[in-house]
Structure 1
Amino acid sequence: MEIVFALAIGVLSGSGVWLLLRPRTFQVIMGLALLSYAINLFIFCMGRLKVGSPPIIHADLESNPALYADPVPQALVLTAIVISFATTALFLVVLLAARGLTGTDHVDGRERDT
């Protein structure tokens, strides 16, 4: 299970960095989104990958923290998802405004001479 998470984080990070280096602004925004997904997966897997464990401590059971899932990374990832969605929406609005003003969607604001 850990190797799948590690590969997913690596693929998302690599794809995000590659898209960040592209000349079009939409590709840069998609690269930022992929990087935020990779960071969310990383934060989520830092809370121990436990399947079938309750996230809260019951009074009936022993209070050994190793028996429970850590709810803090789950809360952090949920907050990060909401913030990244709002940031992506803001970036898309800025992208549309910049495209309307400049007539191009290149990062530097002008087409390359080929």
Structure 2
Amino acid sequence: MIDLLTTHYNYIASILLVGIGLYVVMGSPNLVRKVIGMNIFQVGIFLFFVTTGYVDGGVPPIVGHSEGPIVSPLPHVLILTAIVVGVSLTAVALALIVRIYNGYGSLDEDVIKEVQVDD
């Protein structure tokens, strides 16, 4: 069991990050904290994909490097794209949160629901 923890610590870290992010998104009524939890969740997914793309003793897929296993660049390229999408999503979410705060005067979900019911 200890050997499993020392050799696969990246997987454990990614599971912890996904769990923490999911807990923050589901448990916090504050909208900014939900965005932060979503970013923590994304980082856990990014770490998982980069970890699965690792090949021990692998070489880059360049012509002329044929000694040993070749590492696929696809997971890393997908994660670069996902990082750009995640930053854009965070920017849009924070812009919407600013508009919600200007309209309702609060970032708490329960207060916003009460104000909507009163209107």
Q: TM-score range by the shorter chain?
A: 0.7 to 0.9
Taking structure 2 as the reference length, what is the TM-score of the superposition? 0.78
Q: What does residue 78 of structure 1 align with?
A: 80
Q: Which residue, 19, 40, 43 being the options, matches 2:46?
A: 40
SS in 1 for 2:66: coil
Structure 1 residue 94: deviation in Å? 0.4
- Matched position secondary structure for 2:21: helix
Amino acid paired to 1:3: H
CA distance in 2, matches of 1:2, 1:49: 14
Compare relative contact order (CA 8 Å, sep 6+) and give the higher one, 1 or 2.
1
Aligned-pair distance for 1:2?
A: 4.7
- Unaligned stretches of 5+ in structure 1? none
Distance 2:89 2:60 in 1: 29
Instruction: Tell whether the 8 Å contact from 1:104 to 1:110 is kept in structure 2 after alignment.
Output: no
Give aligned pairs, total. 107
Structure 1 residues 2 and 98, CA gap change in structure 2 (3 angstroms): farther
1:60 to partner: Cα distance: 5.6
1:1-114 → structure 2 map (5 Å cutoff): 2-21=7-26, 22-50=28-56, 53-59=58-64, 61=66, 67-108=69-110, 109=112
- Matched-pair identity in %: 25
Q: CA RMSD in A?
A: 2.0
C-alpha distance after superposition, 1:38-74 (max 9, x if no partner): 11111112223436x3321323625xxx612110000
Using the size of structure 1 for normalisation, the TM-score is 0.82
Q: Hey, what's the Cα distance between the residues in 2 that align with 1:25 and 1:42?
A: 26
